[in-house]
Amino acid sequence: MPELPEVESIAQRLCEGTETIPLPGRKIKHVSLYWPRHIVQPSVSTFRRRMKDRVIRDVRRRGKFLVFPLDEGNLLIHLRMSGDLTICPAKKPRGSYEHTIFHLDEPWQLRFSDARKFGLIYYLKDPGRVLNRLGPEPLDPAFTAHLLAERLKKHQRMLKPLLLDQRFLAGLGNIYTDEALHYAGLHPRIRSDSLSQDQVEKLWHGIQTTLREGLRQNGASIDWVYRGGSFQNQFRVYQRTGEPCPICSTPIERIIVGQRGTHICPHCQPEITK
DNA sequence: CACGAGACCTGTTCGC
DNA sequence: TGCGAACAGGTCTCGT
């Protein structure tokens, strides 16, 4: 589920606490771990001890990570494929996917639900140890088309797997990559170092446009995992196999690129560039 | 360095 | 209806 727009929407929801309580200012009394393998660092017992009585200062996002600066250290959560975070009353029965529960100082809890159990939780003094490996934020003003061009030239890789590589750019996932490439009229297998200036500009605009539109719609809701977003109604190619391309009406095709299901318009995104 | 295969998990949907 | 295969928002490790 969660790519940049979905993670950002979740961060905002937790920060504002509409209909629940804002997370900043709350104290974590203790945690319940029903799937301890979620805890990457430190050890489970240390994590438990360190979380006790920490005060949550803020809720932020970096790439696809949720970052919670605490009065002491930082909590990092990566939702991976099926994670979601909600604030709910302590008395609400625990759902079968709610594997990690943070008990707060009010009759509320922060619950990490994760059907596929791929999620990751860190408690770190220095979050940079994890976050510094990430590439630039695509919506940061510092991320210009010029910078994108420079970075693309440093590799000779297929466009799509490169865009999905979080060290190259932080926040894109399968949905927004397919959408951005269609917007730019670029085939996902084109080599990153073979783009013209014009093509780089289109790709940059495609990334900006799809992410901003995703944010405006609070992300995309798919399947049973995450709801709340409506960007799925705007998909041009993602999961639209067989439907007409909104630009030229050619049926959308599904192919595999870098072991990921990939959706393209074979007419708007020719494999051979001119 | 680039890339494919396989792994980590569970749930839903597809095809016969 | 039943049952296995395919597929799912992500990323890591290993071998070529």
Instruction: For residues A187 and A242, give the distance between their C-alpha atoms in angstroms, rounded to a whole number.
Output: 17
pTM over 0.95: yes
pLDDT given at position A223: 76
Rounded to whole angstroms, the distance from the CA of residue A247 to the C1' of nucleotide C13 is 40
**Which residue ranges make up each domain of chain A?**
4-131, 145-264
A115 touches strand B (CB under 7 A): yes
Per-residue pLDDT of A186-224, as tens digits, reads 999 999 999 999 999 999 999 999 999 999 999 998 777
- One-letter amino acid for residue A273 of the chain: T
3-state secondary structure of A204: helix
Q: Which residue stretches of chain A have pLDDT < 50? A: 274
| A4-131 against A145-264: fold identical | no
- Right CATH number for A145-264 from 1.10.3720.10, 3.50.50.60, 1.20.120.920, 1.10.8.50? 1.10.8.50
pLDDT given at position A228: 81
CB atoms within 10 A of CB A55: 14
CB atoms within 10 A of CB A127: 20
Question: How far is CA A142 from each of CA A59, A138, A139, A164, A166, rounded to the nearest angstrom?
Answer: 22, 9, 8, 20, 17
pLDDT given at position A273: 57
Instruction: For residues A18 and A29, give the distance between their C-alpha atoms in angstroms, rounded to a whole number.
Output: 22
Instruction: For residues A128 and A149, give the distance between their C-alpha atoms in angstroms, rounded to a whole number.
Output: 26
Q: Residues 221-250 of chain A: which lie with beta carbon within 7 Å of strand B?
A: 223-224
Per-residue pLDDT of A250-264, as tens digits, reads 999 999 999 999 999
Q: Tell me which of A50, A54, A64, A111 is the catalytic residue.
A: A64
pLDDT given at position A153: 98
Concatenated DSSP letters of A21-72: --STT-EEEEEEESSGGGEEES-HHHHHHHHTTEEB---EEETTEEEEEBSS
Rounded to whole angstroms, the distance from the CA of residue A83 to the C1' of nucleotide B10 is 12
pLDDT given at position A1: 65
Which positions on chain C have an atom < 7 Å from some protein CB?
7-12
CATH 3.20.190.10 describes domain A4-131:
yes
3-state secondary structure of A217: coil
Contacts of A169 (CB under 8 A, 6+ apart): A135, A136, A138, A143, A151, A163, A207
A116 touches strand B (CB under 7 A): yes
